[in-house]
Amino acid sequence: MSNESETGSGPESVAEASAKAESGSESEADDKAESESEATEEVDSYPDYMLPVIALVGRPNVGKSTLFNTLTRSRDALVADQPGLTRDRQYGFGQLGLMPYLVIDTGGLSGDTDGLDGLMAQQTQRAIEEADYIVFMVDGREGLSSTDHQVAQLLRRYDKPIQLVVNKSEGLDPDVANSEFYALGVGQPASISSAHGHNVGPLMDEVLSIFPLPSKVKTSDLQGIKVAIIGRPNVGKSTLVNRLVGEERVVAFDKPGTTRDSVYVPFERDGTKYTLIDTAGVRRRSKVDETIEKFSIVKTLQAIDKADVVVCMLEAREGVTEQDVRLLGMALHRGRALTLAINKWDGLTNYQRDTVRRELELKLPFATFIDSHFISALHGSGVTDVLASVISCHAAATKELPTPELTRLLEECVQAHPPPASRGRRPKLRYAHQGGRNPQVIVIHGNMTNYIADTYRRFLENRFRKRFKLHGAPVKIEFKSGKNPFEGRKNKLTDRQKTRKKRLMKFVKRK
């Protein structure tokens, strides 16, 4: 049983993402594969080429997100038998058809204009305005409903081509399944099964037939700096995304758990490209009782792995909670550059603000290298500073560290504070070099490095971060010891040494 979900696939803005194409499109028939690859494998610069944009529209629980997953050949969408799961419009690159295209998954239109349903309807209408072609989906098993008529009436307002699709028609006679949907007056219905992929290929061939087939496609990456915004539910993550983008890009509502999936939102500011990743709020495990929320938490953790920089949002009125510390620790453990955004700072008294600052120092002693910004995402105060911090953190996390300078700093550290002795011998640190970026990894070679204490490791991390100005970026120190060429070889004594040893053994007390 297919149904709606939130999708976290790929670029979000049509204006920016339409210049990017996916190569190697495939169809279901083998005889079409060669012609498709010829159209997509050749790479060249065609700045004026725009990918077709196809919007999936319909009432809740008709399988739009399942079809989205089929078209993009991904599992980014959470699919469950629960109406109203998708709330934000989601974008992805179509992989099934004659040419590359952008596909938009939308929330179900229920006909209500209040609360979340009204906000979801606004997101769907924006997707319709952006689209070049509309795929109007209905449920072949439940039959025609009054909501379908309302959706058809809405789509008639837009002068755009529409393809009526009867989903969930597997096992049904196509003529019987399609007969009652002619009453919608939007053209010839097409029967498919998005869950099983039945007739999806011919459907996309028909939809894309009105668009010119490009011979060459530009495949430049427009994602830019990937920024994941994480935090507990209802701390203002979606509001911050909307403020940065300058439009109501994602649904922001005064209710915890509004965002259920990771939403990718590309945008550009001052010549720098970004991809914002709005994530679902993460609560304590004991408070998570819905299956959908459990999957949302997994999506949030995956978004942290995909991101270049993580913005961890806290709510000023609640201070620093245990869950905030855990989220911050997870991002640091994954080696992501970090910046803190303490939201809802407006309206606090001076005493409350001082209390929050003291809590930051007391509860986050391991995050002293992270910038903290006190913002109001709703009113926009301090938001620009967060974006500037993202740029500086990304630059620090991807900075190149020359080996000679690393080795010289290591020698200075060893001279000033030698590593503590262990088993009567002091470890020797010889040279250092960069072992990776984002996160910054510094590899130090020497002897007996297995016995170096964690306190000395942190000392080196802080010195390297300070010297190379790696503020906001975690630094990982890896020690490597050289192999002892004499290991396992017994030292052979000379005759003189044997005589001396025998003489000394006379003075050993025997039991």
Opening angle at CA 343, ends 356 and 225, nearest 5: 120
Does residue 147 lie within any of the structural domains? Answer: yes
267 with 344, same domain: the answer is: yes
Q: Could you say which of 397, 413, 446 is where a domain stops?
A: 397
Contact 279, 262 (CB under 8 A): yes
Does residue 258 lie within any of the structural domains? Answer: yes
Q: What is the pLDDT of residue 378?
A: 87
CA-CA distance, 245 to 490, in Å (whole number)? 70
Q: Could you say which of 153, 180, 208 is where a domain stops?
A: 208
Does residue 140 lie within any of the structural domains? Answer: yes
Helix, strand, coil percent content, the chain, rounded in steps of 5: 35, 20, 45
357 with 229, same domain: the answer is: yes
136 with 190, same domain: the answer is: yes
CB atoms within 10 A of CB 505: 9
465 with 324, same domain: the answer is: no
**What is the pTM for the complete model shown?**
0.57
Q: What is the pLDDT of residue 310?
A: 93
Q: What is the pLDDT of residue 2?
A: 40
Q: What is the pLDDT of residue 297?
A: 59
Contact 54, 133 (CB under 8 A): yes
Does residue 328 lie within any of the structural domains? Answer: yes
26 with 46, same domain: the answer is: yes
CA-CA distance, 303 to 313, in Å (whole number)? 15
Q: Closest Cα partner for 165 from 65, 51, 67, 26?
A: 67
Q: What is the pLDDT of residue 490?
A: 78
Does residue 310 lie within any of the structural domains? Answer: yes
384 with 421, same domain: the answer is: no
Give the total number of structural domains in the chain.
3
Contact 314, 231 (CB under 8 A): yes
- Sequential pLDDT tens for the chain (511 residues): 444 433 334 434 433 443 343 444 343 434 444 433 433 333 333 334 467 889 999 988 898 888 988 888 876 544 444 444 555 567 777 878 888 888 888 877 876 666 666 777 777 888 888 888 999 999 998 889 999 999 999 999 888 999 999 999 888 888 888 999 999 999 899 999 988 889 999 999 999 998 887 654 443 443 689 998 888 888 888 888 888 888 776 654 444 444 445 678 888 888 888 888 887 756 544 444 444 334 455 567 777 878 899 999 998 888 888 888 888 888 888 889 999 999 999 888 999 999 999 999 898 888 889 999 999 988 888 899 999 999 999 999 999 999 999 999 999 999 999 999 887 888 999 999 999 998 899 999 998 888 899 999 999 999 999 999 999 999 999 999 877 777 777 778 888 988 988 888 888 766 5
Place of tokens 């997101």: 123
Q: Which residues of 447-485 are buried (b: 16+ CB within 10 A; e: fewer)?
A: ebbebbeeebbebbbebbbeebebbbbbbebebeeeeee
393 with 429, same domain: the answer is: no
> Could you tell me the two tokens for 258?
């509004």
Opening angle at CA 198, ends 194 and 202, nearest 5: 100
Does residue 96 lie within any of the structural domains? Answer: yes
Q: What is the pLDDT of residue 15?
A: 38
| 3-class secondary structure, 264 | strand
| Cα 444 to chain centroid, rounded | 32
373 with 409, same domain: the answer is: no
Domain span at 448: 403-481
| 3-class secondary structure, 297 | helix
Q: Could you say which of 397, 431, 457 is where a domain stops?
A: 397
CA-CA distance, 249 to 127, in Å (whole number)? 10
Whats the size of the chain, residue-wise?
511
**What is the CB-side half-sphere exposure of residue 52 using CA atoms within 13 A?**
25
> Could you tell me the two tokens for 153?
């009436």
25 with 133, same domain: the answer is: yes
CATH at residue 473: 3.30.300.20
> Could you tell me the two tokens for 47?
């700045």
188 with 46, same domain: the answer is: yes
390 with 435, same domain: the answer is: no
Does residue 490 lie within any of the structural domains? Answer: no
CATH at residue 309: 3.40.50.300
Q: What is the pLDDT of residue 493?
A: 85
Q: What is the pLDDT of residue 465?
A: 93
Does residue 215 lie within any of the structural domains? Answer: no
430 with 383, same domain: the answer is: no
> Could you tell me the two tokens for 133?
């072609």
